[in-house]
Structure 1
Amino acid sequence: MNGPAAPRKAAPVTVARDADTALIIARGGDGLAHGILERTFFLREVHGMTWHRMSPTVAPEDQAAVAQLAVARLQAAGYRVEADAECATPATQDRFVTDGRSIANLAAAIREATSPAEVSDRLEEVTAAHDGILASLDQLLHSLAAVYDGLGGPADRRIAAHMRYLAEQRLGPITAHLLHTRAELADRTTAPARPGTSLPGSAPAAPAATASGRTR
């Protein structure tokens, strides 16, 4: 296991069980620290300031271990963590490459692209049908709608309808616009096909018809 990254200039992160609520709460840090916490069973709260509480989906007997995992990941990323005895650990644990990080890397690659053709190629994973980024987000929204359909609460059908609205009326136009953008950028170049691909040849001429109507 690798050691911690270089210390960060962000404010220290505190992780401790709150005496009043008995919840394990994390405070401080920057956006990256918040992302680490949110991928380690902490829920974001924004009430004047951003803080995190451990999700109630974590069983009581597992809460200390989960808190220590969050502390280890924060320390591996270079954060100074102030934790109580229950949550503290000297360990570090490297973060895995998340789906969000993969998309951030894609955004960086688009910024660094040197031609419209390269940008168009980078957009293929975003706009691909069935399992591209936007198509997968559409599936996620419809899956959430199905979950709310099955909950049966007074407001659940309205929430389900709103999820479908987001997929169809908000995400749909974004997808259509980026599909057009990718094609428009591609049409600006006459670059050859990428290695391993070949363009289809022209279609063969149709057979000529004879006087009898037969072809030859």
Structure 2
Amino acid sequence: MALTNRLLTLRRDAHSGEVLARGGDPEAHSILERTGFVPVVRLHEHYHRLPTGLDAAEEARLAVRAVARLKAVGYHVSCDAAFDTEYREPHYLTLGAQVAAIADRMRHASTTEDAADALTELTATHDGILDALHEVLTATADFYQDLGQSADPHYAQRLRFLATEHLGVIASDLRGIRNDLADRHSPHPQRTACDGDVPDAEQEASAVCACPPPLPLVPSAPAATVGGRRR
């Protein structure tokens, strides 16, 4: 990782008066957002700001906490003196990182049983991740329903639609895939452990292991840039 990705600035902007954080990598951005900052993505820049409507004391509290969290995991933060701190807040594995670990289990799965077991964390009835996500969307819809602005019932309806239709399709398909894998009981042909041995009955002295070569890794496409709201 480039050293520049470990550097951030967190200062009160001289022109707008906003507390702005610039620089860092996706992990730093996640820390900022979990501390209350809002991402702003524009054509030629990407930075984070504090929410509008906060008083100066609350802005300082959040900025100090962000600096403490960033420094605790090794980021170098250039900040206003009012935001600097010697405190280092403990950093724990986030829930999102725990969910992302399922992808790592899938990448290393060598049998259909391994893959089905990993997907079960998503698809399990009652307390699987997909059911929990459905609950979050529904609870957010309930919150919006009577929040008071004219557009709020629309947001509530949209969230319920996403929970029932889109998430419902994903859940149904993944459950079918998980159940299919659970019934197959077979090793993955490209991931089966191989010791390189040649069968004893092989007559050709130059024979080598008959396992197929591993598939080439396909690079992932770069993430699309999302346009931010103009302020």
TM-score range for the pair, normalised by the shorter chain length:
0.7 to 0.9
Q: Specify whether residues 77 and 11 from structure 1 end up closer, same or farther in structure 2 by C-alpha distance, changes over 3 A only.
A: closer
TM-score (norm 2): 0.73
Q: Which residue in 2 is equivalent to 1:114?
A: 110
Q: Which residue in 2 is equivalent to 1:175?
A: 171
Deviations along 1:67-126, one digit per CA (max 9) or x if unpaired, are: 122112212222221111111224433311111011112211221122110110111111
Q: Which residue in 2 is equivalent to 1:13?
A: 8
Give yes or no for the alignment of 1:27 onto 2:22. Answer: yes
2:50 alignment partner, one of 48, 54, 65:
54
Report the Cα distance in structure 2 between the residues aligned to 1:131 and 1:8, rounded to whole angstroms.
41
Report the Cα distance in structure 1 between the residues aligned to 2:161 and 2:186, rounded to whole angstroms.
39
Amino acid at match of 2:146: G
Aligned-residue sequence identity (percent) comes to 38
Report the Cα distance in structure 2 between the residues aligned to 1:92 and 1:105, rounded to whole angstroms.
26
Q: Which residue in 1 is equivalent to 2:181?
A: 185
Structure 1: stretches of 5+ with no match in the other structure: 1-5, 192-216
- Offset of residue 59 of structure 1: 5.2
Aligned residue-pair number: 186
2:22/2:46 contact within 8 Å kept? yes
RMSD: 2.2
Deviations along 1:15-69, one digit per CA (max 9) or x if unpaired, are: 0112233221111111111001111111111122221112347653233232122
Report the Cα distance in structure 1 between the residues aligned to 2:59 and 2:81, rounded to whole angstroms.
13
Of residues 160-169 and 11-20 in structure 1, the stretch that sits farther from structure 2 once superposed is: 11-20
Give runs of ≥4 in structure 1 deviating > 4 Å: 6-9, 56-59
Amino acid at match of 1:46: V
2:155 alignment partner, one of 147, 153, 159:
159
Give yes or no for the alignment of 1:38 onto 2:10. Answer: no
**SS of residue in 2 equivalent to 1:151:** coil
Report the Cα distance in structure 2 between the residues aligned to 1:109 and 1:177, rounded to whole angstroms.
19
1:103 alignment partner, one of 99, 105, 125:
99
Report the Cα distance in structure 2 between the residues aligned to 1:14 and 1:65, rounded to whole angstroms.
16
Q: Specify whether residues 106 and 59 from structure 1 end up closer, same or farther in structure 2 by C-alpha distance, changes over 3 A only.
A: farther
Report the Cα distance in structure 2 between the residues aligned to 1:140 and 1:58, rounded to whole angstroms.
26
Amino acid at match of 2:13: D
